[in-house]
Structure 1
């Protein structure tokens, strides 16, 4: 399995290498001068008082924006390492706590496949993975939720269990000020776990696990309250008239149609078959504890599957509902806002495959052929991702050269005393640029970044 893991790991290494071609765009134009002039604390103040109230989001944005363009370029590598490390730890610890024995390299293989397909199989990989502002809000937020599981899975003593509760509370508060959509997904999943806990957890663990879920939900509620009562959040709602349109029949029905389109798109993206195959291999290569008592009961497979589908459908629809006033019908194609529940979707596919693989193993079906087929599917899907990633890398390289050329010229002209200069939009993967589909935005931020009074629409690169 270690050898098979080299394929998704190779994809992640290549994707991280392409990070050198990332250049600022869209919101980044506004974040860079704000962080340069006022530091991370200024970014927090800007978000809380003016933009959206997301304090946790501002801290993470400031953490990379303070390094300028280099922060954008290194973000891909750092985020991939964080995602892989967190998922690897969670999978390995979860198997150990469930008393499941896996073949060597299986946790690494599963974690690398989940990470690669979560980050790279999206319809718009650039906005999912390479655009730091979007990734922090919608891609890395679910990964940070998974990180909160690590103290829980490590807890064996009374002190460890208390520490896990504290971690759940702190993580919940931070999440509530980081991403509204991921907060919704987490609340829905925790609610489902509470409802199903009587069936999926052993009696001796049930009470504590329910307490952990409630603690996490309390933290998320607290953080969300801080966000929703902030001046920035109120200002954002007033700009989009969210208070009147969020629960209108038109908005609810439009959200339902949009989520239906999103669900169909995800279900028909063939590369995700590789994630199911990963789960099948996991189920075939893990041996259970037999009749021994474990913290997790795996006999209610249909209940687990139904609970997962319900959690995905409810959380996905609710995320679409709160995004609809901002995007309108365009939320169906605004792929970055799908990512809050995309990791849940990928994990559910792995779980479904694992249940299928386990069923095949327990029924005594020949496992050799199933393993070979599963491995072949994983290889094929990884190759599919490699092709699309290579095309994106070429597009990013072209944009980076054009951006650098214009950047050097604008800096030089500004240093020589120019106050108004032309700017030619350089976009990749539908990224927002001045004088594009959003009108002149963010032209004022571009001018601020280069120390100009104004930028005009340039038709040619300098």
Structure 2
């Protein structure tokens, strides 16, 4: 006879074995919060540093045109400017008014407010998704996931200034996808009839808001909602599946309604006229092929940026550390066939990314890889979350095998720390450039205001830019825009191009 191992199917575990088994299970868990806390210091420190750098933000680009309108005409004037003349984005106008009401200070605090918002949204989505899937994670791990995905999204981009520090771009392409993701939280947490009704109400409001906020984010939302509806066909029949379909249908209708309001607005028509685009020109064979080539270039740039691996690494950590809390679960396909939702997520990212490129390429026909990089964020937010989700599936698969988990945990942890260090280096360089511009901007602002107070009506202006931002008389004076808006900001008739910096430091 051969001896049976304790706890096999033939020999149930004895009470003497239980304490040893519990000790083996709890030993690694006791170290997990310390590991999560130590790792979370890296992304949180990077976020804190980026918030401090936000004090160096000064108006530039479209800000020159927004601030005088808010000062002279208020919120209604800003809404009228957007809806009737600029682009039709009503919700965008409201968000611009929200930060623009504070003038320069509002722009300086914007990075902190938006960064904390994105962190909170991803944190809540992570915790809610775990709960909805019948999973638990050690304390601190959801925050680690949120912090890592936030820093990767904000700082792995080719242009962190436009992604994070320039409010006019951030509200349309950085905060917009985070707000869309926030609408999912009530759905994931709804357990009662009142909670489900509330989630439906949030879907309506969020859908209309996103639909009139950002065309790119709206397209991503539509693609993801259609993908979720298709995936629901594979889930277990029951009330949960029926309610999920209802929520997706309501959210889809709200987003499409918002898009129609935006597309039919006078401002949207004026924007299409400026770029000589329309439904027929966008979807002609030449445009479709051009967008495909452009999106291929974008994919090449994104897939070769190693710092995006931080999202995959933190997802692997999550998969290695999470456990089942509800064996019955919700019947979602991720519990039985994880490859299906993973492939569906990849397909949704590719489709939405291509469609976003198709509609934005007319505005950046020759600069999609430079000035147009800010528009990538509409779908890169989903890309970062997708990487984290795929990483969680890989981590769970490694844990199920029961071998090599310690090595995988250590490797993922080191990669998370390395990504944070790698992202800190260019951020420090950007901080230096922002400081140089802030000093120049403050000196010139003080001088212009003093001259205006003395009765001047025409004054010279020395351009200064950062993060490929447009400033009056950029490109060695050849680019005039937005000189007229800058003159209006200072109550001048006009400004003229100058090359000599304003004298005297102000700090």
TM-score by length of 1: 0.98
Aligned to 2:117, what secondary structure does the other structure show? Answer: helix
Number of residue pairs matched by the alignment: 462
CA distance in 2: counterparts of 1:91 and 1:290, whole angstroms: 17
Match of 2:63 in 1: 28
- Structure 1 residue corresponding to 2:398, chosen from 360, 368, 393: 360
Matching residue within 460, 473, 479 for 1:435: 473
Tell me if 1:96 matches 2:136.
no
- 2: CA distance between counterparts of 1:25 and 1:253? 34
Match of 2:293? Answer: 257
1:13 to 48, 59, 62: 48
Q: Give the match's secondary structure for 1:208.
A: helix
The answer to whether the Cα contact below 8 Å between 1:246 and 1:324 also exists between their aligned partners in 2 is no
1:411 corresponds to:
449
Task: Provide the C-alpha distance between the structure 2 equivalents of 1:150 and 1:274, rounded to a whole number of angstroms.
Answer: 24
Task: State the match for 1:286 in structure 2.
Answer: 322
* Between 62-71 and 244-253, the greater mean CA deviation after superposition: 244-253
- Give distance in 1, aligned partners of 2:366 and 2:404: 48
Unmatched tracts of structure 2, length 5 or more: 1-35, 503-507
Task: Give the structure 2 partner of residue 372 of structure 1.
Answer: 410
Q: Give the distance between the partners of 1:77 and 1:295, measured in 2 at CA.
A: 39
Does the 8 A contact of 1:119 with 1:128 survive in 2? Answer: yes
Highest CA radius of gyration, 1 or 2?
2
How well do the aligned residues superpose, as a CA RMSD in angstroms? 1.3
Distance in 2 (alpha carbons) for counterparts of 1:331 and 1:245: 18
Answer yes or no: is 1:129 the counterpart of 2:164: yes
- Detail structure 1 runs of 4+ shifted over 6 Å in the superposition: none
- Out of 463, 471, 481, the residue aligned to residue 425 of structure 1 is 463
Residue 249 of structure 1: CA displacement? 2.0
**Match of 1:210?**
245
Q: Which runs of 5+ in 1 are unaligned?
A: none
Of 447, 456, 459, the match for 2:496:
456
Structure 2 match to 1:167: 202
Displacement of 1:288: 2.2
Quote the Cα distance in structure 2 between the aligned partners of 1:202 and 1:417.
75
- So what's the TM-score if we normalise by structure 2? 0.89
Give distance in 2, aligned partners of 1:276 and 1:146: 19
Rounded to whole Å, the distance in 2 between the matches of 1:275 and 1:422 is 47
Q: 2-side partners of 1:289 and 1:199: how far apart?
A: 23
Contact 1:102 1:286 in 2 (8 A): yes
Contact 1:259 1:332 in 2 (8 A): no
Matches within 5 A, 1:105-116: 105-116=140-151
Question: Can you list the C-alpha shifts for 1:336-392, whole angstroms capped at 9, x where unaligned?
Answer: 000000110101111111111100001111311211111011111110011111111
Taking a change above 3 Å as real, the CA distance of residues 109 and 452 of structure 1, as seen in their structure-2 partners, is same
State whether residues 162 and 169 of structure 2, in contact with CA within 8 Å, keep that contact through their aligned partners in structure 1. Answer: yes
Distance 1:225 1:290, change over 3 A: closer
